[in-house]
């Protein structure tokens, strides 16, 4: 059993502390928004997770390209780690958004460009893991995963772009209510502090989880090789 590096242990601890501070800032420190009430506090974590998840998906597409050029399984493990953590974070983003939308827009879900793209993105990366599960050969699994992550990373922004373009050109589809305007608010200085702190905290948490997941990937690789060695 490989001991955790000290840096990772420090990062683990820092993540927990940052999460606690960020929670305090979001729940207590920031003032209550007047129109929407307490539910607006969900917004800080919503943006924090969304930002890191999108960053992770973009990173995954970059790792895809690097893997396809270099053919080094290290980049495959980077990619899996990034996508898995992002998938979890993005799920939180969607659930939080939905919870916020219920009192703010009076519905759990609307087929607005962002929500639709978010749902499709989540499905793409769920499919990514289903694809990987069906392949035993590590090199093939890595190649196929990289190709699919690349296609997915390309397709998701295209979808967003397409829906957004069509919906703004056909305002009838939206039905008169523009969700972006409905529920918008201006941040006070305290809110802004909580907001930027949440962004920072979730970035650190993301890196920490990513690192932990990366070590898990290395371990998986180790065990797989040992299995091959033993079975021979």
Partner 1 sequence: MVDKATEIKSVKVDGTPARGSFIQAVAAVVWKDLRAEFRSRELFSAMLVFSLLIILIFNFALELDVKTRRSVTAGVLWATFAFAGTLGLNRSMAIEKDRGCMDGLLLAPVDRSAIYFGKVISNLIFMLIVEVIVLPVYSALYAINLFQPGLILVILLGSIGYVSVGTLLSAMSVQTRTRDILLPILLFPVAIPVLLAAVKASNGFLTGAEWAEILLPLNLLIAYDVIFIAVAFMVFDHVVEE
Partner 2 sequence: MFFQETTPDTSGYMIAGYAITFIVMALYVASIYLRTRNLNQDKTTLEEMDKPDQPGQTNAPRQR
3-state DSSP helix/strand/coil % of the chain, to nearest 5: 80, 0, 15
- Judging by beta carbons within 10 Å of its beta carbon (0-12, 13-18, 19+), is residue 1 exposed, middle or buried? exposed
Binding at 165: pick from partner 1, partner 2, none (beta carbon under 5-8 Å per type): partner 1
Check the CA dihedral 53-58-63-68 and report its sign. Answer: positive
Considering the complex, what minimum distance in angstroms separates the CB of residue 56 from partner 1?
A: 18
| 16: Cα separation from own chain's centroid | 18
Q: Which of residues 28-87 bind partner 1 (CB under 8 A)?
A: 68
* CB of 120 vs partner 1, minimal distance in Å: 5
Q: Which of 32, 51, 50 is nearest to 41 (CA)?
A: 32
Contact 148, 126 (CB under 8 A): no
Query: Which one of the spans 65-73, 127-135, 156-164, 210-218 is the region binding partner 2 (CB under 8 A)?
Result: 210-218
- Given a contact cutoff of 8 angstroms between Cβ atoms, the answer to whether 188 and 31 are in contact is yes
Contact string 20-49 vs partner 2 (x = CB under 8 A): ---x---x----xxxxxxxxxxx--x---x
CB of 25 to partner 2, least distance (A): 13
Q: How far is the CB of 21 from partner 2 (least distance, A)?
A: 14
How many other CB atoms are found less than 10 A from the CB of residue 36? 16
Nearer to partner 2, 41 or 77 (CB): 41
Residues 54-113 that bind partner 2 (CB under 8 A): 85, 88, 91-92, 95-96, 99-100, 102-103
**Contacts to partner 2 by CB under 8 A:** 1, 23, 27, 32-42, 45, 49, 85, 88, 91-92, 95-96, 99-100, 102-103, 209, 212-213, 215-216, 219-220, 222-223, 226-227, 229-230
């Amino acid at each position: 059993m490989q001991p955790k590096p000290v840096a990772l242990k420090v990062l683990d601890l820092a993540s927990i502390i940052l999460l606690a501070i960020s929670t305090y800032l979001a729940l207590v420190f920031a003032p209550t928004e007047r129109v929407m009430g307490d539910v607006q506090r969900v917004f800080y974590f919503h943006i924090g997770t969304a930002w890191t998840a999108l960053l992770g998906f973009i990173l995954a597409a970059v790792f895809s390209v690097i893997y396809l050029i270099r053919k080094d399984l290290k980049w495959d493990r980077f990619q899996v780690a990034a996508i898995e953590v992002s998938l979890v974070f993005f799920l939180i983003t969607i659930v939080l958004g939905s919870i916020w939308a219920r009192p703010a827009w009076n519905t759990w879900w609307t087929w607005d460009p962002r929500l639709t793209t978010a749902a499709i993105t989540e499905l793409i990366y769920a499919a990514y893991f289903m694809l990987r599960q069906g392949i035993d050969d590590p090199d093939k699994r890595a190649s196929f995963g990289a190709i699919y992550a690349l296609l997915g990373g390309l397709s998701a922004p295209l979808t967003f772009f397409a829906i957004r373009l069509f919906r703004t050109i056909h305002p009838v589809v939206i039905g008169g209510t523009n969700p972006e305007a409905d529920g918008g608010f201006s941040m006070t200085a305290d809110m802004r502090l909580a907001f930027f702190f949440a962004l920072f905290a979730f970035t650190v948490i993301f890196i920490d989880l990513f690192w932990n997941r990366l070590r898990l990937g290395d371990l998986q690789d180790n065990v797989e090789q040992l299995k091959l060695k033993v079975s021979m």
